[in-house]
Structure 1
Amino acid sequence: MKYWNLKKINNSTFEKLGPIPRSISKTFDKLKKELDPNAELEALEEFRVTRYLTVNSIKYLLVLILAPVLLNQLSKILLFGPSVDYYWNHHQPYLFLNLSQEERAFAELQQFEEKIHFEILIGKVDNLSYDFAEEQIKIKAIELAQKYAHESSNSIKNVLADTFSTIIFFSLLIRGKKQVAILKSFINEIIYGLSDTAKAFLIILFTDIFVGFHSPHGWEVVIEAMLRHFGLPESREFIFLFISTFPVILDTIFKYWIFRYLNRVSPSAVATYHNMNE
């Protein structure tokens, strides 16, 4: 029964695109089903197939999301954390993984030193001695050393834990080909089942966020966060090169998808998109 349902799902969702738009063909199919004397039985069977598709897709989607995330955190705390901390505290003579961390630490220390001298000059701090300022700066330097040592070791943990969770994620995809086909069918049915206005709204929202005129600032924040997450140097040249190329490539791929697939499946949605985007 499940094999027949899966076969029916795949045949209905992954059907080849023909010369007639899918929206028109769906209208004729709906009319044909309503005139069919066995329409009630077919509607009941279609409901069972849809329920099977939805339940299994949600379950597998939760597994794909929760399993890598949970294993990432557990491996980081229980497996990689103790070993990395031991190595970093006993065998690593450096505090910083890269020059960017060192520059940020020096900038923070310099800002704190200027703040101390400013508070002394305005009389906010009663003790005007040089030793007092030096003692406060020394305490701040020790705090920064501990902070960036922790950040450096945490970056190594992130690399190891993320690599492990990525392997788990792709293992789930490879071992669950049947579930992947069901999930893909479920997503396709949701996307192509939306109204034309909803499709156009999502297209505009997606393009404005990722490839719009204001998207470079968002990409800059994301790339900096990712580089810090993995302990990589925050190269401005790399960030600007990524911003100047990747959104353009993404925009080209997206326009090709609209022209190649959506324009044949739902031409009315493409027309609505162009009208809303003008």
Structure 2
Amino acid sequence: MKYWNLKNINKSTLEKVGPIPRSITKTFEKFTKDLDPNAEIDAIEEFRVSRYQTVTSIKYLVLLIATPILTNQLSKSLIFNPLVDYFWNRGTTTIFLNPSQEERAFAELQRFEEKINFEILIGQLPDISSEVIEDKIKNKAHEIAIYYANESADSIKNILSDLTSASVFAGLIFWRKRYISILKSFINELIYGLSDTAKAFLIILFTDMFVGFHSPHGWEVIIETILRHFGLPESRDFIFLFISTFPVILDTVFKYWIFRYLNRVSPSAVATYHNMNE
């Protein structure tokens, strides 16, 4: 039964987009099926295939999401945390992995010193000696050094644990190829089965979020977070170059998909999209 289901699911997955919109062909197919004397049996079989496809896709999707996350957290906590801490504290005195960390650390220390002087000038702190001020600055510098040393060690742990989880994710895809076809079919049916208004709303939501006029600020935060996660230098030139090119490429991909596929599958959804976007 399952192999027959896989055959039918793969067939629907590999369907090519024809010159006639899929909504019209599906309506015609439904009409011919209603005239078939075996329509009830076919409907039961179609329901079984749809149920198997949905359950299998959800299970596989949960597996693809949960397994790499659990692998990442467990490998980082049980393996890489003690391993990196042991070698980091034993054989290195490195605090910063890149100049961006130095700039942030020095700026934080400078703000702390300026804050002390400001509070003394406005009377919030008593007129203390320069030795006491120097001790406060030394203690703050020590705290900053510990913080950035831990951040550098965490970056190495993140790289190792992310590589491990990425390997597990790739293994799930490689060893479960037949489930990829089922998942693709399920996603196609889910997307193309939405109403025209829902399709247009999702397109506008994704395009405005990732390629809209306000998206560069979001991309800047995302890139800075990723670079800090892996301990890479936060190059402003790289960030601005990425922001000026990647959203344009993404916008082109969206437009190509709308023109090449959605316009043939559901032209009414494209018309709704243009009306909502005006």
Is TM-score (shorter-chain normalized) higher than 0.5?
yes
Larger deviation: 82-91 or 242-251?
A: 82-91
Structure 1 stretch displaced more, 53-62 or 117-126: 117-126
Instruction: Tell me what 1:92 maps to.
Output: 92
| Aligned position for 1:110 | 110
- 1:13 is aligned to 13
* In structure 1, distance between residues paired with 2:20 and 2:13: 16
Q: Which residue of 2 aligns with 1:229?
A: 229
Deviations 1:74-121 (A, max 9, x none): 111111111111121121222000000000000001111111111112
Aligned counterpart, 2:135: 135
AA in 2 matched with 1:125:
L
Distance in 1 of aligned mates of 2:14 and 2:192:
12
Specify every segment of 5 or more residues in structure 1 that has no aligned partner in the other structure, as ranges. none
Mapped pair 1:272 → 2:272: yes
Compute the RMSD of aligned alpha carbons: 1.0
Tell me if structure 1 keeps the 8 A contact 2:197–2:269: yes
Distance in 1 separating the partners of 2:105 and 2:204 = 41
The residue type equivalent to 2:170 in the other structure is F
- For the residues of structure 2 that align with 1:246 and 1:149, how far apart are their CA atoms? 33
Deviation at 1:132, TM superposition (A): 1.9
Deviations 1:217-274 (A, max 9, x none): 1000000000000000000000000001111111111111111111111111111111
Secondary structure at the residue paired with 2:103? helix
Aligned AA (1:238): F
Q: Is the 8 A contact 2:13 2:181 kept in 1?
A: no
* 1:152-191 matches, cutoff 5 A: 152-191=152-191
Tell me which stretches of 4 or more aligned residues in structure 1 moved more than 6 Å: none
* Count of aligned pairs between the two proteins: 278
Partner Cα distance (1:197, 1:181) in 2: 27
Q: CA deviation at 1:200?
A: 0.5
Indicate the percent of aligned positions where both proteins have the same amino acid: 72
- Give the corresponding residue for 1:63: 63
1:87 & 1:232 partners in 2: Cα distance?
Answer: 20
Letter in 2 for 1:129: S
State the Cα distance separating 1:127 from its structure 2 match. Answer: 5.0
Contact 2:53 2:186 in 1 (8 A): yes
| In 1, Cα distance between equivalents of 2:198 and 2:10 | 24
Partner of 2:78: 78
Deviation at 1:8, TM superposition (A): 1.0
The answer (yes or no) to whether the contact 2:96–2:148 under 8 Å persists in 1 is: yes
Aligned to 1:199: 199
* 1:260 has 2:247 as partner: no
Give 1:12 deviation, angstroms.
2.5
- TM-score by length of structure 1 reads 0.97
What is residue 47 of structure 2 aligned with on the other side? 47
The one-letter code of the counterpart of 2:63 is V
Letter in 1 for 2:96: F
Deviation at 1:47, TM superposition (A): 1.1
Q: Look up the SS of the partner of 1:128 in the other structure.
A: coil
Aligned to 2:29: 29
CA distance in 1, matches of 2:9, 2:160: 39
- Tell me the distance in 2 between the aligned counterparts of 1:143 and 1:185: 54
1:98-151 CA-to-partner distances (Å, cap 9, x unmatched) read 000000000001111111111112221235221221121111111101100000
For residues 183 and 174 of structure 2, the distance between their equivalents in structure 1, rounded to whole angstroms, comes to 14
TM-score (norm 2): 0.97
Q: For 1:13 and 1:172, locate their aligned partners in 2 and report how far apart those are by CA, in whole Å.
A: 20
Question: 2 CA distance for matches of 1:128 and 1:8?
Answer: 82
Q: What secondary structure does 2:43 align onto? A: helix
Cα distance between partner residues in 2 of 1:107 and 1:90 = 28
